[in-house]
Amino acid sequence: VFSILRTQSKSRLVGANAPGIISPIGSCRIGFQPLPTFAPGHIGIVAKSGTLSYETVASITRSGLGQSLCIGMGGDIIAGTNMVDALRVFESDPETAGIVLVGEVGGRAEEDAADWIVDYRKRVGEKAKPIAALVGGIVAPEGRIMGHAGAWRGPGERSAKEKYAVLEAAGATMVQHPEDFGGVMKTLLSQSGRDVGKIVGNAKKQQQQRGYHTMRRRPATAPYRQESRITSNASKEQRRGLLLGPDQAPTPLEPYLSQAGVSLSDTEAPEDAFHLGVTVDRTARSPCLAVSPSTQPSQLSQRLRHFPYDWREGPTDATIKSAIAHMQLDAAPPAARAQTTALLRALAKMYTEKEAVTLSAAVSIDTPSGNLVLHQPTLHLQFDDAAFRSCARQEAIHSLRRKHLEDPAELEAETHGIVFLTLPSPAAASSTAAQPNIGTLVNGAGLAMNTLDALAFQHSGTATNFLDTGGKATAATVKKSFELILQDPRVKVIFVNIFGGLTDGGMIAEGILLAFREVDMRGLPVVVRIRGTNEGVGQRIIAESGLGLEAFDGFAEAAGRVVELANR
């Protein structure tokens, strides 16, 4: 889709997998944002995560600053409108006085934004609009997909912690939880010489004058009572990438290797091997050849280069020639250069035909023969299983998935449309580190990641799991979430942290009550925070439940209480 959008200039893609775009000052609303959370004002927001954007908006609204424009970048691998696109809009928008960025693990959108910020501050100087930012996924386990299809760290990409440092070095003021954005942005506006009182006053005037749909609260819907209601398509909403190991990868790969005339070896790659593959260039928003003259981990992040190409056309001769030059194969035997060209074309063909995310391996030149050798132990074949889940495409690829080697709790969650990851305890050698003992139940992958981060860095708490209920969660889904969390004997307290867009606060509360009726809760304390869509209904249900649930409005208070209970 994006390759076609490049051919014109009148239409823009927002998302995919985003809550949409909204201008609370009255210009537009396309999406499913929780409207009562928004207020007209002067802060521009761009976010990968929908739920984190709602948290951010709520903080900005409470501060009195309001929002000029909120852009959902989305959590997919390809973003139709990315952070730099949004920053360019915010720079030229007279209604925007300050800017907020909300990123997460995966890709380099935050790094691109940091580069833009450095250039912007040089160009504009003291007139630059203040920028605050957050990056989720700092404590995310390496090598896992954190709910969003794009929330994973690829070869040569920086971690969330490194992105945090890059943005901070560029001049963005970093926060650890979106609840802090309102106060931080007020301070930054004041420090930049802007009249905060006037900005708040203008926002208040706009809020009083507006007469369009965001001023009207939707009627509160009745809480969900269909306790067993689980849609048949629920599991299709969550995406967990399929990664084939070195012993599985040859099955789909060998036909393409045969086309390229390249042999497969079961030996480890030598030190002079080079990296070769096809993956997604998230900045160019297209597939690319990803190559490096070295496979050494200490050098790969610096020496790996992307050579993007058009999805519809495949890599051109010039693109392949540039990639081979970067691999420093100019002096290689003619047979090896020809085989490298053929292999890159074959992998690009496989990438399209098999709907892959990443295909890569280490390749070397056999000294006696001068031929190319691909080393099987280094094979990395990753596929996005949305194709299979949505309409059973690529069944042969996905039949290779080894469910018997996966965490049974994660597989059980998947059948209910829940993304669940068990987080490990520290190694024995690190026994002084805090032991995980907080079960988390959260809606939205971004909010779930940030909940883990904020518990760890603001409150010294450690979670036992990552859990995203999914946007189409029901009361039965919430009950199942409790069952999954309670399977872990390490759990001493459960933290329910909800900020609903699609997710209904009343439904979440009904699910909590359902769990208390039908699940052995082991006498564990449960701390509940429900904000967003129908938050009043959910909060009332919790307050009237008589179950001794501890309910909070603010994250800091709720998280503090959770850690207090966990440390008893």
Q: Comparing C-alpha atoms, which of 290, 293, 286 is closest to residue 309? A: 286
Identify whether 16 is preceded by a cis peptide bond (ω within 30 of 0): yes
Give the count of beta carbons closer than 10 Å to the beta carbon of residue 273: 22
Q: Report the alpha-carbon distance of residue 161 to residue 167 in Å, rounded.
A: 10
- The pair of three-digit structure tokens given for residue 488, joined into one six-digit string: 């872990």
Q: Report the alpha-carbon distance of residue 103 to residue 75 in Å, rounded.
A: 9
Cβ contact 296:270 at 8 Å: no
Check if 380 is active-site: no
Q: Phi, psi at residue 530, to the nearest 5°? A: -125, 120
Cβ contact 490:436 at 8 Å: yes
How far from chain centre, in Å, is Cα 115? 20
Q: Is the dihedral of CA 552, 553, 557, 559 positive or negative?
A: positive
552 membership: H or E segment, kind and range = strand 550-552
Q: Comparing C-alpha atoms, which of 539, 449, 439, 533 is closest to residue 493? A: 439
From 148, 375, 380, 416, the catalytic residue: 148
Q: Report the alpha-carbon distance of residue 460 to residue 474 in Å, rounded.
A: 31
C-alpha distances in Å from residue 83, one per residue of 42, 159, 213, 387: 18, 17, 27, 27
* CB half-sphere exposure, 150, CA atoms < 13 A: 29
Q: What is the DSSP string of 347-364?
A: HHHHHHHTTEEEEEEEEE
Q: List, by residue number, the catalytic residues.
A: 148
